[in-house]
Amino acid sequence: MILNPVFHKFSFDSRNFKIKPLVSRQNRPAVVAVRASNQNVHNDGFVLEDVPHLTNFLPDLPSYPNPLKKSQAYAVVKQTFVSPEDAVAQNIVLQKDSPRGVHFRRAGPREKVYFKSDEVRACIVTCGGLCPGINTVIREIVCGLSYMYGVDEILGIEGGYRGFYSKNTLTLSPKVVNDIHKRGGTILRTSRGGHDTNKIVDNIEDRGINQVYIIGGDGTQKGAALIYKEVEKRGLQVAVAGIPKTIDNDIAVIDKSFGFDTAVEEAQRAINAAHVEVESVENGVGIVKLMGRYSGFISMYATLASRDVDCCLIPESPFYLEGPGGLFEFIERQLKENGHMVIVVAEGAGQEFVAQSMPAVDEKDASGNRLLLDIGLWLTQKIKDHFTKVQKMMINMKYIDPTYMIRAIPSNGSDNIYCTLLAHSAVHGAMAGFTGFTVGPVNSRHAYIPIARVTETQKTVKLTDRMWARLLASTNQPSFLNCSEVLHHQEKAGRKTTEVINSERTTST
């Protein structure tokens, strides 16, 4: 496991159960002793990967009783505050003798806060691509700060990171954000590129901002980590909270990113349209392209949800067209047996094929992300050419690219609830003085996670996990790989990524 210096390691004192700092030995993970039975102290490998706190660099910061104590919303809650000892386990499937492993601090309100409500000046910024639910997160940060903590100074930074120094701010209040969850996109607007840490932190200082809520994907979270470090260097009382956003669901550690379920649901409409089209003609072949740069999660889940998909192609699983076990052979068989078929392809799949048939282009967006070649159009043409020219067989090809339509819709009910939990967790964390953290559910429990932990690797579909096997079993498509090739591919794709992800999730769901 890779440990970053910003990780703070603590141990549980087995007698009074106070968390106390543990001296780090050459940056090795903290292995601590806890009382496993009333007599024996076991070294059972409990590790808490904690997030920074403002008092780490501002030790004299005063604290105050949490105003939630007086909140009508929490008036009858049995346990308003999360115990400081509560931790969320990263691995919940264990064997009798396995070490207890990595834990994160449980998210939620704390007994003490490190900001007086009338001294909070918060800001919210959204960066990177769109995703359903961003407006809901904005709404719930604003309402959460206002209704739970009595904060009334909340600024919206317009147009992503560069908005800190190149745009005016919006004043946000519960009234302003009341209806925004019904709209797709982000009312604050977004951008790629333009992250200048010093200029951003200068601006934070100039505006007297002391809580920064940053909604965005892996790139955004890397930017948030730099902002946190600069804030710490300057010794500012500024809490930096990251809220992970990505439609690709490629953020490590957390169970799932918000908007993902909405995207999978919306993808059903495109898949259904493709199915209706190809079912109604002779030799109909439908292709639906879905988002997913490096991770095929939307495609995999949309396929599993649909049952009208005959073949799903994702970036993690190399495929081939010709010969035994190839895509053409499978299409031919499906057409002979059913008269039609539907293929779902993730936009990042088969990029190496498309690149071979095009003059070399290596374009990047403003954030430095490689721009993808259009696998959907390429595949459509290849299939058409093969069946009409080589097989002398007429096929009816229908290509649907709903990618931006899926990303631009408002979030569904369950994502809205999820967004509320994320926003509230971020607000409670910042008010409690935590900083340099990302929030998110780990095994269904919301946790504060060190930012570096979610940016050190991207989550991808593991071909060796049971979920991909379930998909193959459901579609009965070719796997395109035998077992040894899968492992070889995983190795080529980056041993580190595989190892880290495997160590994050040792169990297959």
Ligand X SMILES: Nc1ncnc2c1ncn2[C@@H]1O[C@H](COP(=O)(O)OP(=O)(O)OP(=O)(O)O)[C@@H](O)[C@H]1O
Phi, psi angles (nearest 5°) of residue 298: -60, -45
Q: Judged by CB, which is closer to ligand F6P: 87, or 291?
A: 291
Chosen residue from 109, 128, 350, 450 binding ligand F6P by CB under 6 A? 128
* Integer Cα distance of 481 and 325 in angstroms: 9
Find the binding residues for ligand X in span 150-169 (CB under 6 A).
Answer: 160-161
Chosen residue from 141, 157, 187, 291 binding ligand F6P by CB under 6 A? 291
Helix, strand, coil share (%) of the chain residues, nearest 5: 35, 20, 45
- CA 173: distance to chain centroid? 27
State yes or no: is 97 an active-site residue: no
Segment contacting ligand X by CB under 6 A, of 212-220, 393-401, 471-479, 498-506: 212-220
Q: With H, G, I as helix, E, B as strand and everything else as coil, classify residue 268.
A: helix
Each residue 292-311 as x (binds ligand F6P by CB under 6 A) or -, in order, gives: xx------------------
In angstroms, the first-to-last Cα distance of the chain is 22
Find the binding residues for ligand X in span 359-388 (CB under 6 A).
Answer: 367, 369
Q: How far is the CB of 261 from ligand X (least distance, A)?
A: 16
CB 249 within 8 A of CB 297: yes
Chosen residue from 108, 109, 217, 410 binding Mg ion by CB under 5 A? 217
* Integer Cα distance of 65 and 428 in angstroms: 13
Q: How far is the CB of 459 from ligand F6P (least distance, A)?
A: 13
* Catalytic site residue from 218, 248, 250, 415: 248
Q: Which residues contact 420 (CB under 8 A, 6 or more apart)?
A: 136, 140
* Integer Cα distance of 418 and 376 in angstroms: 32
Q: Judged by CB, which is closer to ligand F6P: 11, or 412?
A: 412
Find the binding residues for Mg ion in span 218-237 (CB under 5 A).
Answer: 218-219
CB 319 within 8 A of CB 374: no
* Integer Cα distance of 43 and 344 in angstroms: 49
Find the binding residues for ligand F6P in span 232-251 (CB under 6 A).
Answer: 246-248
Q: How far is the CB of 217 from ligand F6P (least distance, A)?
A: 6
Question: Which tokens is 275 given?
Answer: 């199915």
CB 422 within 8 A of CB 137: yes
Chosen residue from 101, 128, 315, 318 binding ligand X by CB under 6 A? 128
- How big is the site for ligand X, counted in residues (CB under 6 A)? 21
Segment contacting ligand F6P by CB under 6 A, of 97-105, 107-115, 289-297, 375-383: 289-297
Phi, psi angles (nearest 5°) of residue 268: -60, -35
* Integer Cα distance of 169 and 38 in angstroms: 57
Q: Judged by CB, which is closer to ligand F6P: 292, or 376?
A: 292
Each residue 238-267 as x (binds ligand X by CB under 6 A) or -, in order, gives: --------x---------------------
Each residue 351-370 as x (binds ligand F6P by CB under 6 A) or -, in order, gives: --------------x-----
* Integer Cα distance of 409 and 213 in angstroms: 23
* Integer Cα distance of 271 and 277 in angstroms: 10
- Strand 112-113 relative to strand 122-126: parallel, antiparallel, unpaired? unpaired
* Integer Cα distance of 408 and 405 in angstroms: 5
Q: How far is the CB of 194 from ligand X (least distance, A)?
A: 5
Q: How many residues does the chain have?
A: 509
Q: Judged by CB, which is closer to Mg ion: 62, or 368?
A: 368
Q: Is 133 in the site for Mg ion (CB under 5 A)?
A: no
Residues that bind ligand F6P (CB under 6 A): 128-129, 192, 217, 246-248, 291-293, 347, 365, 407
Report, as residue numbers or ranges, the catalytic residues.
248
Residues that bind ligand X (CB under 6 A): 127-129, 160-161, 191-195, 216-220, 222-223, 226, 246, 367, 369
Residues that bind Mg ion (CB under 5 A): 217-219
